[in-house]
Amino acid sequence: MTEKKNEYQKALDWLNAKIGNRERAAVAEKLGAPTSTFNRVLSGGSAPSADKMLNWLKAFGAQLTYPDERLASYSLIPKVAAVAGAGASLETSDEVQGMYAFRTDFLTREQVNPHKSVMLLVRGDSMEPLIRDGDTILIDQSDNDPRDGFIYLITLGEELMVKRLQRLPNGWRLRSENPDKGYIDVEGDELDMFRVHGAVRWFGRVLPSGRRHIKS
């Protein structure tokens, strides 16, 4: 059975059809996008920010409408199929699972760059009680210059995790909020395996419902 395409895939198919046999490098230059990034997006790889995708669609004549004009004051941030292990394991994918709408003036006030932000699911309890298993976090990838005491999405080796960073004389301490989980010191040669992807700027969770499940 063919799965119903999500809205992002429909937009991607439309964009590919509009580009047709044109030279992608020339199209990318016209749009102000790196050729490698543009090719990767059109081939179904990593997704661009929602605002960037909308600008590309508009450049090819897409007529974008909003069911409510008030939505024009919102920025859309993609939720990607990557799981931040928060100290546990990590699964990654370029698939966009959906969009979160934030008021643009709110993001501007909080100095969050919507064009460089993504939403991720958190798994694990190392950042509890602040960030819990199953929470969704916003990562501002433009804010990747680590500062002492702030929370970041980081990679150590091949493991992606959410940690509060504490500066050491010759490196960083990766701290958990959960006192039972301890910390990891990254110094010396280990710094070559350490990468900061962006700051955690927002998180949200869905609380369980008290409703009884009704069988259909």
pLDDT tens, 30-83?
A: 888 888 888 888 887 766 766 677 778 778 776 655 555 555 688 888 888 766
Tell me the chain's radius of gyration from C-alpha atoms.
20
* Closest C-alpha to 177, from 188, 165, 195: 165
Assess contact for 133 and 181: CB atoms under 8 A.
Answer: no
Q: Is the peptide bond before 114 cis (omega within 30 degrees of 0)?
A: no
pLDDT, position 213: 57
Q: Is 149 in contact with 203 (CB distance < 8 Å)?
A: no
What confidence tens digit (pLDDT) does each residue in 137-195 have? 999 999 999 999 999 999 998 888 999 999 999 999 999 999 999 899 999 999 999 99
- Chain segment 7-23, per-residue pLDDT in tens: 677 777 888 888 887 78
pTM more than 0.85: no
Using CA atoms, how far apart are residues 112 and 130, in angstroms rounded to an integer? 20
Which residues are 200's β-sheet partners? 139
3-state DSSP assignment of residue 176: coil
Beta strands 151-156 and 159-168 are antiparallel
Residue 1, pLDDT above cutoff 60: no
Range 3-8, long-range pairs (CB < 8 A, 24+ positions) = 6/96, 6/98, 8/47, 8/53, 8/78, 8/96
